[in-house]
C-alpha cells in the first residue's frame, strides 16, 4: 500500500472540527481554541454534530461517522482537528468509509482515544495522520513547545523535521542506537485494543511509541504482555515510551513502572533502540508525531529524537 500524504496547512485554510470520542463540558475551552485558530489566520468549520450529546449510543455513533465523512468529503476543508480524547472512537472503525478518506487525504490531528482512528486509517488507506494537540485539551492555551512543533510539522512541506524531547522530560536509556521504520505512535490501552483486528497496522519494521495515563503498573505490564504474546514486539525496529502520567492522588511508582518498561525493552530485537521519557502523551509539553510516516529513531545518552522528511505535501 502506498503512503498517502495530506496537503500542508496554509494561512486562510479551513479547519474542520470533529468530536469522534467524548464530548467536552468545557465550552469556554472550545471557544478559546476556536479564537486561537482564527487569530492565527485560519477559518473554522465545526461539524454538524460537533460536541453533541445523545443518550442513544447508536445514534451518537452514526452522527460521529457522518461528521467524519462530511469533513473528508468537503473540498473546502483542508484539515480536521479533534475535540478531545476519552472514549468512543473505536466503535466507529467498522462503519467508516475508508474509500472516502483515501480519495480525500487531509490532515487529521488528535491523540489519546483518537489513536484508534489514526491507526485504523493508516492500516486501511496508508494515509499519514498526526498524533498531537486537541481543541479542549491543549489548543485553548498551548505551551510554546507544543505550539511550535505542531504548526511546524503541519505547515512545512518539503522540509526535514527533527522532533526532539523536551529537556524537562528526563530520559531513561535502555538500549542506545538508531533505527528506520514506519512510526506507529499512540495510547497503549487503545492500541492494545486493536490487536487481532483488521484495523491494526503491521508492526513489521515499525518504530513503536506508546504512552498512557492513570494506569497502574500492573495494567501497563498486562498491556505490554499482550503485545509480546501476539509476537508484535518481535517485529518492531525500535521502541520508545512516552509519558506515563498518574493522577496526583496516586503518584507514580517510578521504580516498578520503569522496571516493567525495561523488561519489555528486552523483548524487542537485540540492539534495537529503546528509551523512556519522550515528550509525548498527556502532558503540557506535547510533541506532534506523524503516524504512518517513514522516520528515524535516534537514542543516545544525550537524548531521544525522531527525524523525518515532511509528512505533508504541497
Encode pLDDT of 113-130 as tens digits: 999 999 999 999 999 999
R_g (Cα) of the chain, nearest Å? 18
pLDDT for the residue 308: 97
pTM (2 d.p.)? 0.96
pLDDT for the residue 145: 98
Helices and strands counted in the chain (H then E): 8, 14
Backbone angles phi, psi at 244, to 5 degrees: -115, 85
pLDDT for the residue 248: 57
**How many whole angstroms separate alpha carbon 83 and alpha carbon 78?**
17
Biggest CA pair distance of the chain: 52
Give yes or no on whether 14-144 and 161-309 have one common fold.
Answer: no
Q: CATH fold of 14-144, please?
A: Rossmann fold (3.40.50)
Q: What percent of the chain has pLDDT over 70?
A: 97
Apex CA 134: angle with CA 212 and CA 132, to 5°?
A: 60
Segments in the chain below pLDDT 70? 247-255
289-291 and 129-131: which strand pairing?
A: antiparallel
pLDDT for the residue 251: 54
Please tell me what DSSP assigns to residue 248. Answer: T
**How many whole angstroms separate alpha carbon 191 and alpha carbon 256?**
22
Q: Does residue 158 come out as left (phi exceeding 0), alpha (psi in the -120 to 50 range) or beta?
A: left
**How many whole angstroms separate alpha carbon 46 and alpha carbon 50?**
6
**How many whole angstroms separate alpha carbon 216 and alpha carbon 244?**
10
In SS3 terms, 160-196 reads as EEEEECCCCCCCEEEECEEEEEEEEEEEHHHHHHHCC
At 15 the three-state DSSP class reads: strand
**How many whole angstroms separate alpha carbon 240 and alpha carbon 163?**
13
Q: Strand pairing partners for 276?
A: 172, 241
Catalytic site positions: 112, 211, 282
Exposure string of 34-43, with b = 16+ CB inside 10 Å and e = fewer, is: bebbeeeebe
Domain boundaries, the chain: 14-144, 161-309
Cα 208 to Cα 6, 151, 241, 264, distances in angstroms: 22, 23, 8, 12
Supply the CATH classification number for the domain 161-309.
3.50.30.60
At 223 the three-state DSSP class reads: helix
Amino acid at each position: 500500500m502506498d503512503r498517502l500524504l495530506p496537503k500542508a496547512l496554509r494561512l486562510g485554510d479551513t479547519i474542520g472540527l470533529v468530536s469522534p470520542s467524548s464530548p467536552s463540558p468545557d465550552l469556554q475551552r472550545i471557544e478559546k481554541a476556536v479564537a486561537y485558530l482564527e487569530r492565527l489566520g485560519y477559518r473554522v468549520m465545526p461539524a454538524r454534530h460537533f460536541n453533541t450529546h445523545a443518550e442513544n449510543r447508536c445514534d451518537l455513533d452514526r452522527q460521529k461517522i457522518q461528521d467524519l465523512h462530511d469533513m473528508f468529503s468537503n473540498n473546502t476543508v483542508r484539515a480536521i482537528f479533534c475535540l478531545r480524547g476519552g472514549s468512543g472512537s473505536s466503535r466507529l472503525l467498522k462503519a467508516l468509509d475508508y474509500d472516502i478518506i483515501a480519495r480525500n487525504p487531509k490532515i487529521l490531528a488528535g491523540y489519546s482515544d483518537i489513536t484508534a482512528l489514526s491507526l485504523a486509517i493508516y492500516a486501511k488507506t496508508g494515509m499519514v495522520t498526526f498524533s498531537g494537540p486537541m481543541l479542549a485539551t491543549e489548543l485553548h492555551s498551548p505551551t510554546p513547545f507544543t505550539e511550535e512543533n505542531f504548526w511546524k510539522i503541519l505547515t512545512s512541506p518539503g522540509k526535514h523535521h527533527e522532533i526532539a524531547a523536551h529537556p524537562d522530560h528526563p530520559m531513561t536509556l535502555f538500549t542506545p542506537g538508531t533505527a528506520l521504520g514506519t512510526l506507529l505512535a499512540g495510547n497503549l490501552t487503545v492500541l492494545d485494543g486493536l490487536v487481532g483486528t483488521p484495523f491494526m497496522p503491521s508492526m513489521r519494521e515499525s518504530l513503536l511509541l506508546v504512552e498512557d495515563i492513570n494506569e497502574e503498573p500492573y495494567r501497563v505490564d498486562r498491556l505490554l504482555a499482550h503485545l509480546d504474546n501476539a509476537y508484535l514486539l518481535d517485529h518492531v525496529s525500535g521502541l520508545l515510551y512516552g509519558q506515563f502520567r498518574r493522577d496526583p492522588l496516586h503518584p507514580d511508582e517510578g521504580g516498578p513502572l520503569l522496571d516493567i518498561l525495561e523488561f519489555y525493552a528486552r523483548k524487542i530485537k537485540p540492539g534495537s533502540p529503546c528509551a523512556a521519557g519522550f515528550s509525548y502523551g498527556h502532558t503540557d509539553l506535547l510533541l506532534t508525531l506523524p503516524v504512518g510516516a517513514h522516520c528515524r529513531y535516534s537514542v543516545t545518552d544525550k537524548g531521544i529524537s525522531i527525524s523525518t522528511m515532511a509528512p505533508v505535501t504541497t
